[in-house]
Amino acid sequence: MNQQPIPPIDLAHLHQISEGDIEFEIDVLRVYIEDISQRIESIRKAIANDDLPKVMGAAHHIKGASGNVGALQIQSLAIQLEKLGEDQGAVLAIIDEMLEKIKVVEQFIDEKSASLSS
């Protein structure tokens, strides 16, 4: 059975929470990107300090924030991150993948912004 790839943003969910207001969607996504970027940095610091509870707390926050805006790929990675526990190598690999997915969401935001301008 072939699974469809998860889109970077669940547009139906995003449209539902924004009631179709594209400018609001863009603002929400920008705040989201800023927030989770800071959380990822805190995960890196927590790993360096061997602070597993802080890693898990940040992963949990990213999972919830991602679900709230419909960033399902990043939410899925955060779920994996929560399950990894002490495997620092795997945690760092997932963080790198999250950063790539953040770039995809940022590109999505840029495209949405450009569509408003035209």
Q: Dig out the tokens for 92 from the structure.
A: 């760092």
pLDDT per residue as tens digits for the range 59-94: 999 999 999 999 999 999 999 998 886 778 888 899
Alpha-carbon Rg for the chain in angstroms: 15
Nearest to 110 by CA among 40, 25, 13: 25
Q: What is the pTM of this model?
A: 0.86
Q: What are the extents of the domains in the chain?
A: 23-117
4 phi/psi in degrees, rounded to 5: -70, 140
Q: Dig out the tokens for 100 from the structure.
A: 């790539």
Superfamily the domain 23-117 falls into:
HPT domain (1.20.120.160)
Longest CA span, the chain: 49
Establish how many alpha carbons lie within 13 A of residue 33's alpha carbon, considering only the half-sphere containing its beta carbon.
20
pLDDT per residue as tens digits for the range 4-24: 777 789 999 999 999 989 999
Residue 80 CB burial class (10 angstroms; 0-12, 13-18, ≥19)? middle
User: What's the pLDDT score for residue 1?
Assistant: 52
Say if CB 76 and CB 64 are below 8 A apart: no
Say if CB 74 and CB 102 are below 8 A apart: yes
